[in-house]
Structure 1
Amino acid sequence: MYGREVARNVISKYGTNEPVEIAEHLGYIVIEFPLPDVIRGIILYFKGHIAIGLNSHLNECRKRETLAHEVGHAIMHKGIGFFFMVEHTYQRPGTYEREANEFAAELLIPNETLFELREESVEYIAATLGVSKELVALKQI
């Protein structure tokens, strides 16, 4: 639930649910470059700046979804990288990943649209909105 609440606050504050616009408002640098297929996005902290790297091999829908996910991490998990978390905290990586996914689902799947498509399959909703089935399923919980 935490990720959803944060996303609602961000949408309200910035008047948009577009991850690119939110990243701009927050001063995040978004760059695309080739990454291994298993990595969709990363956050880099450098001298007080936040850069979000997106795998340039992703299609535009996956880039948007990945950016929403990484913006969620940057807002909710400031300064906590994956390796730091694994080595220095008692939190499981899955907890942070779920929060970032909840943030992305809330950002990219408006309640009104989900209500309009409520009789449709998860696959149809995902294809219509250009998001993954996993995000749709998470939003419907």
Structure 2
Amino acid sequence: MMADIQKAQKLASLVLEEHGVQQPPVDVLALAQDQGIRVVFQELEDKISGMLVQTGQETIIGVNARHHANRQRFTVAHELAHARLHPTHPTVYVDGMMVHFRGEEERGSAPIEVEANAFAAALLMPEDFLRDDLHNRTVDMFDEAAVKRLAQRYQVSVQALTIRLMELGLLRGLSQELSR
């Protein structure tokens, strides 16, 4: 199965539209709660970012309380993606509950993880919002202050923002650096 990144990004846009979100930062907790999903913060092992728990009666997103707030926001968005994009994906059963833990090693290349990351990035850093903020210009990858300001505005990590800007072709300086 190939990852359907466009489907994930379209769903993120639809969620933003359904909830009338028009500017950053996106209140990802409110989005989850509006969809009947409870978000619980717990101290988990450091390598576990979050989990999606489905009991039949309710859906719960568990988030590692030890992680930075920006990472927690991305985790909520990532798990929300799984709830919306992969509701029937097999998970681990613990005492009759479906539980799927996601940690460092799983953030990578599995198609459902790629889709969840694409959804989370598009939800927290919508292309339209970024283009408006940048007045359709690009950001110099070496202008750390500008990248940091933008990351703070969207309440995401500099790393997540940099990846998103690269994906959207909004980061300049990369091709020159790679051709050295």
| TM-score, length of structure 1 as denominator length | 0.80
- Secondary structure of the 2:111 match is helix
Query: Between the two proteins, what is the percent identity of the paired residues?
Result: 29
Question: Take 1:26 and 1:128, find their aligned partners in 2: how far apart are those partners?
Answer: 25
How is 1:1-141 mapped onto 2 (pairs within 5 angstroms)?
A: 1-16=6-21, 17-82=26-91, 94-115=110-131, 116-117=133-134, 118-121=138-141, 124=147, 125-132=150-157, 133-134=159-160, 136-138=162-164, 140-141=166-167
Range with greater deviation from structure 2 (36-45 or 116-125):
116-125
Question: Take 1:139 and 1:76, find their aligned partners in 2: how far apart are those partners?
Answer: 24
Question: Take 2:27 and 2:36, find their aligned partners in 1: how far apart are those partners?
Answer: 14
User: Greater share of helix residues, 1 or 2?
Assistant: 1
- Structure 2, unmatched stretches of 5+, are 1-5, 94-99, 101-107, 168-180
Q: Report the counterpart of residue 89 of structure 1 in structure 2.
A: none
The alignment of Structure 1 onto Structure 2 pairs a total of residues equal to 135
Q: Report the counterpart of residue 88 of structure 1 in structure 2.
A: none
Question: Take 1:106 and 1:41, find their aligned partners in 2: how far apart are those partners?
Answer: 19
| TM-score, length of structure 2 as denominator length | 0.65
- Secondary structure of the 1:40 match is strand
Cα distance, 1:34–1:48 mapped onto 2, change above 3 Å: same
Cα distance, 1:126–1:120 mapped onto 2, change above 3 Å: farther
CA displacement at 1:79 relative to structure 2: 3.1
- Structure 1, unmatched stretches of 5+, are 86-91
1:9-45 per-residue CA deviation (whole Å, 9 max, x = no partner) reads 1111121342111111111011011111111110001
CA RMSD of aligned residues (A): 2.6
Letter in 2 for 1:137: I
